[in-house]
Every structure is written in C-alpha cells, then in structure tokens.
C-alpha cells in the first residue's frame, strides 16, 4: 500500500457540498425520477421515496462519508485500513465499487452523449421542421447509429477526463462551483416557465396528493432502489469524496443538506417536465423515452421552444458531467492510493479503459457488435450492463457498506467520526439503529426481489 503523501483536500466546505451534490444530481434526477414517478402513480410514490431517502438514503450516505473521512482513502484502501478491527478483510467491498465505477460510467457516458447530441440538434433548429412522428423516430435512428454514439461517448469521456485530470480542488471542485450554480439557475428558470402553463396545477396535484390505491409494493422497492442510485450510494463514490474532507466538518448536517438538495432537484425537475407534458396532451407514463422522445416534440411546438430545448439539454449535460466526474474519480483514486500512481497517469489510463468498455454499449443499438447478444441474453448489451450495475452491484455494495459500518467497524472510530464537529450527537443511536437494521433489511429485500427470489406484488397481492 502506498504511503499517503500529502493528500488533496477540498478547498472549502461549500466546495465539497457542491461536488457531492453534483455527483448525486444526474440522469437519475432528470431522466429517471420523473418517468418512474409517472409510471408509479405520482404522489404516493413521491411520499414513499421521501421516506426511503430519510431512513435509508441519508444513513448510508453518512456511513460512506464517515468511512472516507476516517481513513482519508478511497474504498479499497479504506476497507483495508478499517478491517484490522474485524479480522476479516472487507476490501472486496471496495473492489466491487471500483468495478461498478467502470461499468456504470461506461454506459452513463453513452446516455450523456445523447444529451450532448440533443443539445446540438436543438441549436441546429432541427426540431422546427419535423413532424412529431419524425422527431420521436429520430431517437430510434440515433440509437441505431453506432458511429454517432461512439462519437458522443468519446466527447463526454474527454470532458470528464479533462475535469478529473485537474485534481480535487483544481478540477472537480472548480468545475462543480461553475456547473452546479448554472444547473440550479437553469432549473429555476425552467420552473418559472412551467408555472405559467395550464398543466402546472394538475402536475402539482399529481405529485403531492397521494392516492393510496395506486400503490404497488414493487413501487416501494423501486423507490428504495432509486434512493440509492440518486444519492450515488453503494459503490464508494461518497467514500472517495469524503476522503478529501478535513476533520472539522459536521458530517451529519452536510449529509442532510446534500440529500435535501438532491431530492429538491428531482422534484423540481418533475414539476418542470409534467406541466409541459400535461399541457400539450401527453401522458406522464411515457417511460424512459420521456426525455428524448416526448419532450423534443413538445419543444418543437411551443414558442421559444428552441431556446428552452437548448437550455434543457444543457442542464442534462451538466448534471451528467458532475456525476461522471465522481465515477471516474472513484476508479482513478483507487490506483492513486493503492499503487502510488500519479493523478494524471491514473486518470488518462482509467478514462481510456472506460471509453473502450463503453464502446459495445454505444454500438449496442446498431447491432455492429455482439449481434446476437439480445437473442442469447434477452436484453441488449447496453441494457445488460445497466441491469447488472443497478440491480446487482449497487444494492449489494450498499448492503455490505451498511453491514460493515453497523456491525464490523471499530466502535470508537465510528462514534468519533459521527460526533466530531456535529451538534447532532444525540442522533447517533437512531442512526445506528437505521444502519444496523433498517438499511440492511430493506436492501436485502430489494436484492431478493431483483433477483426474482420473491415477487413482492404477489406476496402482498394488492
Ligand atoms: N447519482 C447519479 C444520478 O442520479 C448517478 C451516479 C453518479 C451514481 N455516481 C454514482 C450512482 C455512484 C451510483 C453510484 O444520476
């Protein structure tokens, strides 16, 4: 293990908050949350999601920051250091995280590439001249165009590498300080626009008036799984970001602030999208195509739609970039800490490897590679890696992190990390209860459902 020379640190507390919020706010908030809320009946889903963030998301988030700050190390080395007390070595949890980082960024970058593509398409007045059918078909054409997908994937990876190459303060923090305020600003502008639309009232009601009859038990699990994804939990991204924090910070308060910001962005994004959709006669159950198929149609029909479309897709690009940075940082920091590599070397090598692993995802709609993948495995390559990461790696990583922190971490270190700098010390025993019992049981049930051992809808047969 390499000795920790002088480790990089965040320049300020705000810098850390913006960077971690940047990691959390991503495609999960802008693309996934709106459509799963639409599919799961609105208000009741939002309510359950909020509960999941509070009782599982925040406690696990806090656990990850604690592990990072206590060890001042990225996940593999962090678990190495903390395992002394427990006799078994938990560094495999770190390795699962590093592996997940490779996989997630490799396809996340392809989706982010679509957003780059749509930004350019909006600028080139593309939508003005096409019929609604043509616009939504354009997405299918894009999906099937391997070369274009590889091109945008490369552009996104270059941007990500460019930022992380600059280091913590000079790269990730600097860019988060620029992109996050822009992102929040754009969101507020779009929100004011959405408020002027007729569909706003209906959207508001759809989101905030829970209709219990629409509740499906599997929706509960979906909400829980999404709470993990949206807070970037389960693979050590937050451990890594926490490792650049100083001992002074109040981790409890900071974690709550970040989770609240992330949730606010998801809800405001939904309050921007749904009024547009309702007002123009579409339904919110459009699924994953909501962002890239339905929305451009609407942009093409409203006055000023081109501008709205440009700023909207830029918003998506910024959000994806600040998340991509955190994924690349986990992987790079691992080799910096473990093998003593320089940052530049680590970032260039890892960025290139991830670019290469992403190529099959970028080509997967075109059939240019692994032509028979879908015939053999049932879903195409892109969907396979997404499924592998979101349904297996992250929940299992999250489960192990919760179990480790709750049951195996040295008690004094754990208590110390929680208490230093916080005025919420009284909360420790509640947090410990959540991390020991509630989080592991909840995640374990998700895992069972995801792998098909149980079917919660049948179990409760509502
Ligand atoms: N949280 C991001 C989103 O909502 C995605 C993400 C970034 C992520 N880093 C992660 C998910 C680490 C899991 C683990 O889009």
Q: Distance between CA atoms of 252 and 398, rounded to whole angstroms?
A: 19
Q: How many domains does the chain have?
A: 1
pLDDT along the chain (462 residues), means of 10: 71 96 96 88 94 96 97 96 84 96 95 95 81 87 94 98 97 97 93 91 93 85 89 97 94 97 97 87 73 85 86 94 98 97 98 97 88 84 85 90 96 94 93 97 86 79 59
Q: According to DSSP H, which parts of 404-455 are helical?
A: 411-419, 428-433, 439-450
Tally of helices (H runs) and strands (E runs) in the chain: 24, 0
| N-terminal to C-terminal alpha carbon distance within the chain | 53
What pTM was estimated for this model as a whole? 0.93
Q: Distance between CA atoms of 94 and 116, rounded to whole angstroms?
A: 32
Residue 302 lies in a domain: yes
Residue 5 lies in a domain: no
Residue 4 lies in a domain: no
How far does residue 29's CA lie from ligand 1's centre (Å)?
Answer: 10
How far does residue 266's CA lie from ligand 1's centre (Å)?
Answer: 13
The parent domain of residue 47 ranges over 13-459
- Ligand 1 neighbour 326 (Cβ under 6 A): yes
Q: Distance between CA atoms of 69 and 158, rounded to whole angstroms?
A: 29
Residue 1 lies in a domain: no
Residue 375 lies in a domain: yes
Residue 461 pLDDT: 66
- Ligand 1 neighbour 316 (Cβ under 6 A): no
- Ligand 1 neighbour 397 (Cβ under 6 A): no
Nearest residue to 235 via CA among 349, 381, 400: 400
How far does residue 385's CA lie from ligand 1's centre (Å)?
Answer: 15
Q: Distance between CA atoms of 425 and 233, rounded to whole angstroms?
A: 23
Residue 304 lies in a domain: yes
- Whichever domain contains 108, its CATH number is 1.20.1730
Residue 1 pLDDT: 46
Give the residue, by CA position, lying nearest to ligand 1 atom 10. Answer: 232
Q: Distance between CA atoms of 47 and 51, rounded to whole angstroms?
A: 6
Tokens of 376: 């053999």
Residue 8 lies in a domain: no
- Ligand 1 neighbour 102 (Cβ under 6 A): no
How far does residue 133's CA lie from ligand 1's centre (Å)?
Answer: 32
How far does residue 64's CA lie from ligand 1's centre (Å)?
Answer: 14
Residue 7 lies in a domain: no
The minimum-distance atom of ligand 1 relative to the CA of 324 is: 7
Is 266 in a helix, a strand, or coil?
helix
């Amino acid at each position: 293990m390499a000795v920790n020379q002088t480790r990089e640190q965040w320049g300020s507390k705000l810098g850390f908050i913006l960077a971690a919020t940047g990691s959390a706010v991503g495609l999960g908030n802008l693309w996934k949350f709106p459509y799963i809320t639409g599919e799961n009946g609105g208000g009741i889903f939002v309510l359950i999601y909020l509960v999941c963030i509070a009782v599982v998301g925040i406690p696990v988030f806090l656990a990850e920051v604690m592990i990072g700050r206590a060890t001042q190390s990225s996940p593999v080395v962090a678990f190495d250091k903390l395992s002394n007390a427990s006799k078994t070595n938990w560094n495999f949890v770190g390795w699962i995280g590093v592996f997940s980082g490779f996989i997630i960024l490799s396809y996340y970058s392809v989706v982010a590439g679509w957003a780059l593509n749509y930004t350019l398409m909006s600028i080139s007045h593309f939508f003005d001249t096409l019929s609604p059918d043509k616009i939504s078909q354009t997405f299918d054409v894009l999906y099937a165009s391997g070369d274009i997908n590889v091109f945008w994937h490369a552009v996104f990876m270059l941007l990500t590498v460019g930022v992380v190459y600059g280091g913590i303060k000079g790269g990730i923090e600097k860019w988060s300080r620029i992109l996050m305020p822009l992102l929040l600003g754009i969101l507020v502008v779009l929100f004011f626009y959405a408020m002027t639309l007729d569909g706003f009232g209906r959207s508001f009601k759809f989101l905030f008036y829970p209709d219990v009859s629409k509740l499906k038990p599997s929706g509960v699990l979906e909400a829980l799984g999404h709470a993990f994804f949206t807070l970037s939990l389960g693979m050590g991204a937050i451990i890594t970001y926490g490792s650049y924090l100083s001992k002074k910070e109040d981790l409890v308060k900071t974690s709550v602030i970040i989770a609240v910001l992330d949730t606010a962005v998801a809800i405001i994004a939904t309050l921007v999208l749904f009024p547009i959709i309702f007002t123009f006669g579409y339904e919110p159950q459009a699924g994953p195509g909501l962002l890239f198929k339905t929305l451009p149609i609407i942009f093409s029909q409203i006055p000023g739609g081109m501008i709205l479309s440009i700023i909207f897709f830029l918003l998506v690009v910024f959000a994806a970039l600040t998340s991509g940075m955190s994924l690349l940082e986990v992987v790079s920091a691992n080799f910096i800490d473990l093998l003593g590599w320089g940052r530049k070397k680590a970032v260039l090598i890892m960025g290139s490897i991830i670019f290469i692993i992403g190529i099959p995802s970028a080509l997967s709609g075109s059939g240019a590679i692994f032509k028979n993948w879908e015939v053999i495995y049932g879903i195409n390559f892109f969907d396979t890696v997404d499924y592998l990461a979101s349904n297996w790696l992250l929940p299992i990583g999250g489960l192990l992190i919760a179990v480790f922190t709750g049951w195996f971490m040295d008690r004094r270190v754990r208590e110390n990390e929680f208490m230093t700098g916080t005025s919420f010390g009284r909360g420790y025993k509640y947090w410990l209860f959540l991390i020991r019992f509630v989080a592991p049981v909840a995640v374990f049930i998700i895992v069972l459902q995801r792998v098909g051992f149980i079917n919660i809808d049948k179990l409760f047969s509502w």
